[in-house]
Amino acid sequence: MEEFAALLDALVYTTSRNRKLALIADYLRRAPDPDRGWALAGLTGGLDFPAVKSSTVRNLMMERIDPVLWTLSRDFVGDTAETASLLWPEAEDAPPQADLSLAEVIERLAALTRATAPKELPGLFDRLDPKGRYALIKLATGGMRVGVSARLAKTAFAQAFGVNVEEVEEYWHALAPPYTELFDWAAKGGAPPDLANVPRFRPFMLAHPLEEGTVDLAEYAAEWKWDGIRVQLVRAGGETRIYSRSGDDISATFPELLDALPMDAVLDGELLVRGSAQGGEAGGAASFNALQQRLGRKTVSKAMLRDYPAFVRLYDVLLLEGEDWREAPWKSRRATLEALMARLPADRFDLSALVEAEDFAHLARIREGARDEAIEGLMLKHRESAYLAGRKVGLWYKWKRDPLLVDCVVMYAQRGSGKRSSFYSDYTFGCWDGDPDAGAELLPVGKAYSGFTDAELKKLDRFVRQNTVNKFGPVREVKRELVFEVAFDSVHASKRHKSGLAMRFPRIHRIRWDKPAHEADRVENLRALIKD
Amino acid sequence: MTAPSSWIRPEPHGIHVVPADAWVDPARPVPRALVTHGHADHARGGHGETIATPATLAIMELRYQTREGAVPVEYGETVSIGGGVTATFLPAGHVLGSAQILLEHAGERVVVTGDYKRAPDPTCEAFAVTPCDIFITEATFGLPVFTHPPIAEEISKLLKSLANHPEGCVLVGAYALGKAQRVIAELRASGHHDAIYIHGAMEAMCRLYEDHGVPLGELRLVSEASKEDMRGHIVVAPPSALADRWSRRLPDPLTAMASGWMRVRQRARQRGVELPLVISDHADWNELTRTIGEVNPQETWITHGREEALLRWCQLNQRRARALALVGYEDEDD
């Protein structure tokens, strides 16, 4: 545990990507099995201990320290795990005990229940120093926040043992922590994991944004960028799984799709629910808002299945009946996919149609009209492109429609966490419910915490501190003075907010230090943009 | 017995000693100032008369290029400042020359600590616990998460990193008055006698410390060295220089920072620090609370820092306390 805690600590303080890679690789070479496998799982977010929540830790602390002192400390530090690791009252003269192994810690955490966690955790905390407690709480509650993405950790693994990272990625999703087979193969020269009959994830091909310039439509095909969730549907050995873009297995959320694929295949598409907002009345898809009803559910009710039936709008084929199509050019894969459609059940699959245009200017005009269809924009795919993992220059582009913009007034601010701890970086903003010069009120319409630079954040933080009119715990209410130009992708009706609206992907587009608050938009302007 | 608040008043710009019309650490020029120590937010220039320890006056002279109105008072010496008020300067253990000021009037005793710490420091005299009626304390690190480890641990961490990084240098960000000299003196005490490179802005202050009997060993200026010279060496610079273009002249620097804030990971990350050294010249939470207990005043006034938490602690421990809203004191890079 000491070694792993030291690794986490070193990662926190290392900014250079190469030094991070070297630190992780060095740890993976040195650490014993199965500790290193558990460490890799921790770094990639592959561990889950539902019995331990952030609130479990908070409650343990509140029993041991004055709640006011806890809250003041937590607010300042900006991270529950770190605050608790520093404030845990250490036993004065506890005899030194041998270091706990990471595997031992994992085993104990896995055995906890909601009822036993508050009794067992203190014993673990007592055996560790602040660094060890920090690592333990981060492991237990998930989310390391040490600036290491899953991809970086896998790259470090590949670097540590001189294997190909794409290969690691391929095996990864078929294996479970502590990834024994992966280490046997990479670190000990064993046979690669046998995964022929495992419905495993293949890395997605991703697109670069088309910033400016044009492409030649003789070289590139265009299709709509549908507003659902990108999925990979895999059937092997008689079992079907659905993976999200990050490789998470989301099969349980969409049971109606698990017996829909009649042959072994790996298909790439957009998961949507039936409706008319995207792609027309007959056989069309609903807006993302409707799909959201289905996301993140562990059990799916019959009503859900009836009211929001899911289907996949197919983009691409990676494998089909034992044949690997990934090296083939896009145009051949497309032809294969088109031919396949007749063999797929029409209620669960349709084909993402190509958008035909005379030239790029014509395509641009078509894209402008896309808003009405609640579509995100266009995809441009090179007709000769193989299906390659990750984002490769010049092959696929996403050409998103321009965002919608609205002027809002900042109402509340909250401190951020992690790197932004102690800065007021999360803002709630509102629009007027009538004429502001005739006494209208502001109604909150959204929340955003991105879209500004570090320098702007400092200035915003100062604005919040100097214009606070009320404090509610970590939240400050500010004078209604500052206008944000907020960009967002779409807006939907919502019962959660007093304004009856919810924005999709709101972010701060510009800070209008110059604009008087009464010139900000009204709620009715925003309501007029609702499409579902 | 007159209530002490009738003759000593916290004002936004300093602590006013009313019968003597004198101010402690005033944030703007006044006819008569009592100055606890040489940091710029406490020792401002332009006063008519400045009463302080000789070392503090020397530091102020270095900064403001004048000794006009300087009234030196030695540690332990009591001077009358008018209006029936006497002032005694006692060591605060913060930096060279730092003092607590004991003010006495009509049988009442008020101690203004300025900044202080209880941990040993080879560059200045140790804090003297002084019984009083009103104890006016700082609270820079007034949160229970702040506990400063023994400095020897941090120095050995620094030396270990230096040994692991022989092709480059370790750049230590340290406040130019006090912290820098303490880190250097502690390195010497731990047996590190190699030349240490310093930023030009620290040269005069280091010389002043040596003139006051604090040997710092061989110091060289970064501006007069080549990249080759500095490989495998420690470089000390003010925190503002860490991210500055200035640091480009250094050979592959590993960035360290000596500060009490380094106890909190995200604070270190915000500054791009790779090697956090928890070294502070301020009292940590345990020192603050222990000191209040030892001084055992009738009432504790809390000047600057995280006063809410210390106020809460006093309340929990049945101690009378109030927070003063003084302006102008900064969360220095300490």
Of A9, A68, A79, which has the smallest distance from its Cβ to B266's Cβ? Answer: A79
Over chain B, what is the mean pLDDT? 93
**Nearest residue of B to residue A11 by CA position?**
B274
Identify the CA nearest to B305 among candidates B287, B271, B329, B281. Answer: B329
Identify the CA nearest to A215 among candidates A104, A78, A360, A74. Answer: A360
Report the pLDDT value the prediction gives residue B26, as an integer from 0 to 100: 95
* Residue of B265, B273, B274, B306 to mutate, testing the A interface (most A Cβ within 10 Å of its Cβ): B265
Contact A19, B254 (CB under 8 A): no
Determine, for residues A13 and B269 on separate chains, whether the beta-carbon distance falls below 8 Å: yes
**Nearest residue of A to residue B305 by CA position?**
A76
Confidence of residue A80 (pLDDT cuts 50, 70, 90): very high
Instruction: Give A419's contacts in chain B (Cβ within 8 Å).
Output: 266, 269-270
Instruction: Give B276's contacts in chain A (Cβ within 8 Å).
Output: 13
Identify the CA nearest to A501 among candidates A406, A412, A415. Answer: A406
The percent of residues in chain A predicted with pLDDT above 70, rounded, is 96
Cα separation, B277 vs A85, in Å, equals: 18
Specify whether the backbone of B105 is left (phi greater than 0), alpha (psi in -120 to 50) or beta: beta
User: In terms of pTM, does the model score above 0.90?
Assistant: no
Instruction: Give B272's contacts in chain A (Cβ within 8 Å).
Output: 15
Kindly tell me if the per-residue pLDDT of A371 is higher than 60: no
CATH fold, domain A404-527, is OB fold (Dihydrolipoamide Acetyltransferase, E2P) (2.40.50)
Confidence of residue B2 (pLDDT cuts 50, 70, 90): very low
Cα separation, B179 vs B171, in Å, equals: 14
- Superfamily name with CATH number, domain A205-400: DNA ligase/mRNA capping enzyme (3.30.470.30)
- Residue B145 neighbours by CB distance under 10 Å: 25
Report the run of H or E that residue B95 belongs to, with start and end: none
- Residue B195 neighbours by CB distance under 10 Å: 14
Determine, for residues B145 and A83 on separate chains, whether the beta-carbon distance falls below 8 Å: yes
**Nearest residue of A to residue B257 by CA position?**
A13
Instruction: Give B269's contacts in chain A (Cβ within 8 Å).
Output: 12-13, 419
Determine, for residues B147 and A86 on separate chains, whether the beta-carbon distance falls below 8 Å: yes
Which of A46-60, A288-302, A367-381, B268-282 is predicted least confidently?
A367-381
- Comparing A496 with A466, which gets the higher pLDDT? A466
Cα separation, B36 vs A468, in Å, equals: 33
Instruction: Give A461's contacts in chain B (Cβ within 8 Å).
Output: none
Instruction: Give B142's contacts in chain A (Cβ within 8 Å).
Output: none
Residue A413's identity, in one-letter code, is: A
- Comparing A400 with B233, which gets the higher pLDDT? B233
Separation in Å, CA of B312 to nearest CA in chain A: 7
**Nearest residue of B to residue A14 by CA position?**
B274
Give the model confidence (pLDDT) of B71-82 as tens digits: 999 999 999 999
Determine, for residues A76 and B143 on separate chains, whether the beta-carbon distance falls below 8 Å: yes
Of B147, B264, B308, which has the smallest distance from its Cβ to A82's Cβ? Answer: B264
Q: What residues 295-314 of chain B have any CB closer than 8 A to a CB of chain A?
A: 306, 308-309, 312-313
- Give the 3-state secondary structure of residue A129: coil
Confidence of residue A465 (pLDDT cuts 50, 70, 90): confident
Kindly tell me if the per-residue pLDDT of A42 is higher than 70: yes
CATH fold, domain A2-141, is DNA ligase i, domain 1 (1.10.3260)
Identify the CA nearest to A449 among candidates A467, A425, A421. Answer: A425
Q: What residues 128-157 of chain B have any CB closer than 8 A to a CB of chain A?
A: 143-145, 147
Report the pLDDT value the prediction gives residue A490, as an integer from 0 to 100: 82
Determine, for residues A13 and B306 on separate chains, whether the beta-carbon distance falls below 8 Å: no
List, edge to edge, every strand of the sheet that includes B85-91: B78-82, B85-91, B99-105, B108-112, B134-139, B299-305, B320-323
Contact A207, A388 (CB under 8 A): no
Confidence of residue B1 (pLDDT cuts 50, 70, 90): very low
Kindly tell me if the per-residue pLDDT of A228 is higher than 90: no
Determine, for residues B143 and A72 on separate chains, whether the beta-carbon distance falls below 8 Å: yes
Separation in Å, CA of A6 to nearest CA in chain B: 13
Is any Cβ of chain A less than 8 angstroms from the Cβ of B160? no
Report the pLDDT value the prediction gives residue A416, as an integer from 0 to 100: 77
Is any Cβ of chain A less than 8 angstroms from the Cβ of B275? yes
Report the pLDDT value the prediction gives residue B17, as an integer from 0 to 100: 96
Contact A232, A362 (CB under 8 A): no
Instruction: Give A14's contacts in chain B (Cβ within 8 Å).
Output: 274
Burial-class residue A529 by CB neighbours within 10 Å (0-12, 13-18, 19+).
Answer: middle
Cα separation, A130 vs B1, in Å, equals: 49
Residue given tokens 């192994």 in the structure block: A101
Which of A60-74, A184-198, B87-101 is predicted least confidently?
A184-198
Give the model confidence (pLDDT) of B37-47 as tens digits: 999 989 999 99
Is any Cβ of chain A less than 8 angstroms from the Cβ of B269? yes
Here the tokens at position B68 are 């006009």
Domain boundaries, chain A: 2-141, 205-400, 404-527
Of A14, A86, A419, which has the smallest distance from its Cβ to B145's Cβ? Answer: A86
Report the pLDDT value the prediction gives residue A166, as an integer from 0 to 100: 85
Confidence of residue A454 (pLDDT cuts 50, 70, 90): confident
Interface contacts A/B by beta carbons within 8 Å: 60
